[in-house]
Amino acid sequence: MVDRVRDSVVSIESRGGFGAGVVWDSKGWIVTNDHVVQRSESRVTFQDGSNEIGRVLARDPAHDLALVSVPNIVGFAIERGDARTLRPGDALLAVGHPLGLRDAASFGIVSGTGGVNWMGRPASELLQADLRLAPGNSGGPVVNASGQLVGIASMVLSPGIALAVPIQIVHAFVREVEAKLAA
Amino acid sequence: MANETPLGVLQALSNQLADATELAGRSVVRIDDGTRLTASGIIWSSEGLIVATSHGVEADDDLTVELHDGARVPARVVGRDADTDIAVLQVHGAGLPAFELANKARPGQIALALGRPGQAGLQVTMGILSAVHEHGAGELLHTDALFYPGFSGGALVDAEGRLLGLVNLMYRRGRGVTIGTGIVAEIVEALSSGGTVKRGYLGVRAQAVELPPVVRERAGITQEIGLLVSSVEAGSAAELGGLMLGDTLLEVDGNPLDDVDDFRKTLRSKRAGQVVMLKVLRGGGVAEISAELQPQPTGDEDGHHSSIQHSGRRGGRPGSRQRR
């Protein structure tokens, strides 16, 4: 399953940022964190080692999301799941490049869906997990026990308290971008 | 792209962990003691006994316990035990969802840690049981599951949601540990009947001393350090058992004694009425003595005193000899 997820994981380097990204669809769109791509252009490296220059299509700083477009996609679009059906205790996997270690998988569980502030920070609409993530996981996929994308790894409040942007927010962001481009 | 099997092993595990969390979460409560920080607690009995950490519950009265469904019920502390940092609370109500106890704790088994910190609702983390240490009437458990701030008083449960123990982040100088259900049960039994935990009391003062080679040779022992008895309390378990001034303690219940603190801990983990077997060096030979421990004198339940006291230098070891 991790192999399957990895096919959809890229690494993204841009000046001032390094992280992971997820191949969202076959038209060359990659989802990552806004804080990973601080410049408009970045280097996107695929599983086979090939790389392309990616261009930031749109940003959603409030949710720490960005869409990056590359001319050619290597790998598959990730299978999408539903974060709203997750229960505390459900298994999660994150794949990213923690501390530069390529495509490392971490295993954890949904640690809470309390829906209120966590230590003073508004975590209400974020997915909270006990995944042990590190810099380099940012922008990478968090998948459920079936390997389906449920969130984008976004921040670590403290070791073992990871927050991910749930997939429904990613959907809304991508739809918004599509609508803007069509207009 | 989809899984070939209808329900993969990881999905089955995921469901099981979420089911266990849901079940166990019903027995984890939030305790509001009127201070800014709330504490977690676990429902021990359906008749309303709640167990928490003593350090997490500052007041004894006018407490509020919030159940899993958000219901708030008044509670009060019925007893505290300083040594295990356990507080037992009583809420008025019957039919509360009490924890089912887990079978024997085994290192390597999956463990979930649950708490209700602050306003965050039920929180859960996962790991395995890393170690299980015998301690007094039960066990202390160690897990690699993370304890979030506010998990003190929460539960460590197995993959079926059954209780393994009480989580405590502040136990003995801030090392997160889980107090096994055997210890919790004993404390709850003592405290809920309005009593206190009767720790065993021997009634001696002792000091670690080096045993000279000639002494060891004559007695036929290899142990290099013993505990020299420097006073025996009149009427104490030690005196009744026949321990005398000038005896050197070598073993308790077959375990070598070379440190006053270790001896103190061993005795604290025992209860009044229990018999300890002491091996002592007396008059050049080795003697066996049995002593039935007495309850600790009143005023000694606050943890400042114990059944054995240092005489002389603290630290309990002579010279600069360092072992272990």
Give tens-digit pLDDT for B87-140. Answer: 999 998 778 999 999 988 999 999 999 999 988 889 999 999 999 998 877 899
By the 8 A CB rule, do B316 and B259 touch? yes
Q: What confidence category does residue B171 fall into, taking pLDDT thresholds of 50, 70 and 90?
A: confident
More confident residue, A157 or B53: B53
> Would the pLDDT of B283 be above 60?
yes
**How high is the pLDDT of residue A7?**
92
> Would the pLDDT of B214 be above 60?
yes
Q: What confidence category does residue B314 fall into, taking pLDDT thresholds of 50, 70 and 90?
A: very low
Its ipTM equals 0.88
**Quick one: what percent of chain A has pLDDT higher than 70?**
94
The minimum CA-CA distance between B5 and chain A, rounded to whole Å, is 10
CA distance B219 to A41: 83
Average pLDDT of the residues in B177-191: 93
For A154, other C-beta atoms within 10 Å of its C-beta total 25
Are A89 and B20 in contact (CB < 8 Å)? Answer: yes
| DSSP 8-state class, residue A77 | P
By the 8 A CB rule, do B77 and B87 touch? yes
Q: What confidence category does residue A126 fall into, taking pLDDT thresholds of 50, 70 and 90?
A: confident
**How high is the pLDDT of residue A91?**
97
Are A109 and B125 in contact (CB < 8 Å)? Answer: yes
> Would the pLDDT of B85 be above 50?
yes
pLDDT tens readout for residues A47-105: 999 999 999 999 999 899 999 999 988 888 999 999 999 999 999 999 999 988 989 99
pTM value? 0.77
More confident residue, A10 or B170: A10
**How high is the pLDDT of residue A32?**
97
By the 8 A CB rule, do A83 and A104 touch? no
Are B21 and A87 in contact (CB < 8 Å)? Answer: yes
Average pLDDT of the residues in B207-232: 91
**How high is the pLDDT of residue A10?**
96
Query: Which residues are CB-contacts of B55 (< 8 A; sequence separation ≥ 6)?
Result: B85, B152, B170
Interface check B111 vs A, CB under 8 A: no
Q: Scanning every residue of chain B, which has its alpha carbon at the shortest distance from the alpha carbon of A128?
A: B123
The minimum CA-CA distance between B79 and chain A, rounded to whole Å, is 31
Query: Which residues are CB-contacts of B226 (< 8 A; sequence separation ≥ 6)?
Result: B208, B209, B211, B248, B249, B250, B257, B258, B281
More confident residue, A28 or A59: A59
Give catalytic status of residue A138 as yes or no: yes
Q: Of A42, A63, A64, A154, which one is the catalytic site residue?
A: A64
**How high is the pLDDT of residue A75?**
82
The minimum CA-CA distance between A46 and chain B, rounded to whole Å, is 19
- Go through A30-61 and write b for each residue having 16 or more CB atoms within 10 A of its CB, e for each that does not: bbbbbbbbeeeebbbbbbeeebbebebbbbbe
> Would the pLDDT of B58 be above 50?
yes
Q: What confidence category does residue B306 fall into, taking pLDDT thresholds of 50, 70 and 90?
A: very low
By the 8 A CB rule, do B249 and B266 touch? no
Q: Of A35, A90, A103, A130, which one is the catalytic site residue?
A: A35
Give catalytic status of residue A63 as yes or no: no
> Would the pLDDT of B262 be above 90?
no
Question: B interface mutation test: which of A8, A84, A86, A87 has the most B CBs within 10 A?
Answer: A87
Are A130 and B124 in contact (CB < 8 Å)? Answer: yes
**Quick one: what percent of chain A has pLDDT higher than 90?**
68
Which residues in chain B have their CB less than 8 angstroms from residue A113's CB? 121
Structure-block tokens of residue B135: 């301690």
Query: Which residues are CB-contacts of B134 (< 8 A; sequence separation ≥ 6)?
Result: none
Which residues in chain A have their CB less than 8 angstroms from residue B145's CB? 130
**How high is the pLDDT of residue A12?**
96
**How high is the pLDDT of residue B175?**
64
> Would the pLDDT of B174 be above 80?
no
Average pLDDT of the residues in A33-45: 93
Which residues in chain A have their CB less than 8 angstroms from residue B14's CB? 89-91, 144-145
Which residues in chain B have their CB less than 8 angstroms from residue A79's CB? 1-2
Q: What confidence category does residue A150 fall into, taking pLDDT thresholds of 50, 70 and 90?
A: very high
Which residues in chain B have their CB less than 8 angstroms from residue A109's CB? 17, 21, 112, 124-126
By the 8 A CB rule, do A96 and A140 touch? yes
Which residues in chain A have their CB less than 8 angstroms from residue B154's CB? none
By the 8 A CB rule, do B17 and B112 touch? yes
Average pLDDT of the residues in B61-79: 94
Mean pLDDT over all residues of chain B? 85
**How high is the pLDDT of residue B136?**
77
Give catalytic status of residue A35 as yes or no: yes
**Locate tokens 């003595």: which residue?**
B289
Interface check B11 vs A, CB under 8 A: yes
**How high is the pLDDT of residue B170?**
85
Q: What confidence category does residue B272 fall into, taking pLDDT thresholds of 50, 70 and 90?
A: confident
Interface check B124 vs A, CB under 8 A: yes
Average pLDDT of the residues in A145-149: 95
Q: What confidence category does residue B264 fall into, taking pLDDT thresholds of 50, 70 and 90?
A: confident
CA distance A159 to A132: 6
Q: Scanning every residue of chain B, which has its alpha carbon at the shortest distance from the alpha carbon of A76?
A: B1
**How high is the pLDDT of residue B184?**
96
> Would the pLDDT of B6 be above 60?
no
Mean pLDDT over all residues of chain A? 90
Q: What confidence category does residue B37 fall into, taking pLDDT thresholds of 50, 70 and 90?
A: confident
> Would the pLDDT of B323 be above 50?
no
**Quick one: what percent of chain B has pLDDT higher than 90?**
54
Q: Scanning every residue of chain A, which has its alpha carbon at the shortest distance from the alpha carbon of B18?
A: A89
